Structure 1
Amino acid sequence: MTTTHSGVTFAGRSTAVAARATDLSKVYGQGETQVVALDAVSVDFRQAQFTAIMGPSGSGKSTLMHCMAGLDAISGGSAKIGDIELTGLKDKKLTQLRRDKIGFVFQAFNLLPTLTALENITLPMDIAGRKPDRAWLERVVETVGLSGRLKHRPSQLSGGQQQRVAVARALASRPEIIFADEPTGNLDSRSGAEVLGFLRNSVRELGQTVVMVTHDPVAASYADRVIFLADGRIVDDMPDPSADMVLERMLGFSGGGHTSGSAARPRTPGLDATGRVN
């Protein structure tokens, strides 16, 4: 039996793979300026699971997410969403994949100011010429607590409420996987906790798959699992994390303590730049 952050048992959850990296590499530059951002990373992200990715600044955590989401081209290896191999996909096919199978939540809310909350939520489907599943949309809106705010424009919403709209937008098309890059980075602690709770509930109650990059041990503790990166490699995979467990593990990244232990002095991990979806 497995117990999560909130004490909810989810033993028996599907072990099917929503996304997979195999020997994934990402290299920037050439010669003396070459930087290996990802070094032969292999990892599975399972369906209906909330995974957090952590590591020191420059460890490759956002690069991994961007490569898996088709936002950045990979240099070597394989990246798949479901059974679809991203390597070699043309721009049109990548755009279609991101639109149909992937949801995004970034640190910046990326809402259109002239649209209502509901219009922002359904915008990607409207652009694609698809009608939302009304029953699913109602469940999503209820899950993120926006039932009374659907006619409000972003300027009439708090930062936390705007991020809830962004979460609902990511959920509304029922994607195979949602990628969230520092989704609470612009929020106060209370609003951040609410948004993390909504992401967690989307996994527990709606069966969504969420992969989140974060530098915050408390945010990571909402996940079912935390993957730690250092120097472009996965160095640990922690199930059922608590904030204290994550913080202790992060302390081991200073002074080359990448493989085990936490005796090294802490180095505060930094924020990675967030991407935008074209």
Structure 2
Amino acid sequence: MTTAPSPGLRPAGPPADRTTAVAARATDLSKIYGQGETQVVALDRVSVDFRQAEFTAIMGPSGSGKSTLMHCVAGLDTFSSGSVRIGDTELGALKDKQLTRLRRDKIGFIFQAFNLLPTLSALENITLPMDIAGRRPDKQWLDTVIRMVGLADRLGHRPSQLSGGQQQRVAVARALASRPDIVFGDEPTGNLDSRSGAEVLGFLRNSVRELGQTVVMVTHDPVAAAYADRVVFLADGRIVDEVHAPTADSVLDRMRKLPGGNPRTPRSDAKGRTS
């Protein structure tokens, strides 16, 4: 698991001037697989807002619908009914090419498996989405992102020359480089050791606090969730709870009360790291 955030990284609570603007919104969102006796309701009329400049973690037991929710809101999967908006754009009204353009221009993605191209350098991987779109990166913003994730001396290295934590830093920088409206992370620290995972989560936390980024992250790890401003809990395809200014203990307590929720309690080693 991940090292707990230091007090300096955790806000004391929701700031008084928190924005009310919405970066993404799901309304009565349902996702159904199959028909008849084989029908599975992955999402059951879910309504949730993800506010600008806020870090939200989505948690729930296995099969609760958390990854399905993120994939539908991010435009990676279709939904059966309801509505999804990124800003003012309704995803259900978009054709395939329009949806591809919206994902490219408005959304950043961070995946558990890094998804870097092995033949490209770190810098080339970071700028790849903009290169494909035919857009020049904002150099000042790009330099800010690279400095924040600590990659200035690794830009010429290929993924095979980087550690897992460094590769995920590249993935974080790639997601932030185009200044997307919202960044989605699907278990972004799942393949990392405790120290590297804590670094990546710290970068995401700082991107919200210092750069005004909006981040939505699916995780099973209560310690990772404690880096967020709030945690949304799903069970059986429905939102059943929400916690603001979470701690690992408060997340664990809520998870234990969910149907099928039995998270493994993080253990700290002699150096304060959790596993």
**TM-score if structure 1 supplies the norm length?**
0.90
Change (3 A) 1:5 1:227: farther
Deviation at 1:55, TM superposition (A): 0.2
5 Å-filtered alignment, 1:139-150, equals: 139-150=144-155
How far apart are the structure 2 equivalents of 1:8 and 1:244? Answer: 15
- Output the amino acid matched with 2:129: P
Residue 91 (structure 2) aligns with: 86
In the alignment, is the contact (CA less than 8 A) between 1:5 and 1:223 conserved in 2?
no
How far apart are the structure 2 equivalents of 1:4 and 1:162? Answer: 25
Between the two structures, name the one with larger relative contact order (CA 8 Å, sep ≥ 6): 2
The correspondence for 1:267, drawn from 262, 265, 269, is: 262
Residue 61 (structure 1) aligns with: 66
Residue 272 (structure 2) aligns with: none
How far apart are the structure 1 equivalents of 2:231 and 2:8? Answer: 12
Q: Percent identity?
A: 78
Deviation at 1:190, TM superposition (A): 0.5
In the alignment, is the contact (CA less than 8 A) between 2:52 and 2:214 conserved in 1?
yes
Count of aligned pairs: 257
The answer to whether 1:160 aligns with 2:155 is no
- Output the amino acid matched with 2:69: L
Residue 29 (structure 2) aligns with: 24
Change (3 A) 1:218 1:42: same
Residue 185 (structure 1) aligns with: 190
- Output the amino acid matched with 1:267: N
Where in structure 1 are there 5+ consecutive unaligned residues? 256-265, 270-278
After superposing on structure 2, the runs of 4+ consecutive aligned residues of structure 1 that deviate more than 4 Å are none
- Output the amino acid matched with 2:56: T
CA RMSD between the two structures? 1.5
Residue 181 (structure 2) aligns with: 176
**TM-score if structure 2 supplies the norm length?**
0.91
- Output the amino acid matched with 2:66: K
The correspondence for 1:227, drawn from 232, 235, 239, is: 232
The correspondence for 2:102, drawn from 85, 93, 97, is: 97
The CA deviation string for residues 13-63 of structure 1, in whole angstroms up to 9 with x for no partner, is 322000000000000010100000000000000000000000000000000
How far apart are the structure 2 equivalents of 1:238 and 1:52? Answer: 10
